[in-house]
Amino acid sequence: MLAAQEAYLRDAESLNQARREHALAAVALYHALGGGWDVPETVTAVSANN
């Protein structure tokens, strides 16, 4: 049973890593195609104060 749980967790971690890489690739593609977004002035000011 323990071996099956270890295999499940290892596979779940691999799946999460693949999903993360997929999301990062989608963002990189969007950015490469000229997409982007502006950060509102208030968000920038709040981030700088923290």
| For the chain, domain boundaries | 2-36
CA distances from 12 to 7, 15, 21, 48 (A): 8, 5, 14, 36
Whole-number pLDDT of residue 50: 56
The pLDDT, as a whole number, for residue 2 is 93
Rounded to two decimals, the pTM is: 0.62
Q: 49: which 2 tokens?
A: 């104060």
Q: Give the pLDDT score at 8.
A: 97
**38 DSSP 8-state letter:** P
Q: What is the pLDDT along the chain (50 residues), one digit of tens a residue?
A: 899 999 999 999 999 999 999 999 999 999 889 887 676 776 555 566 65
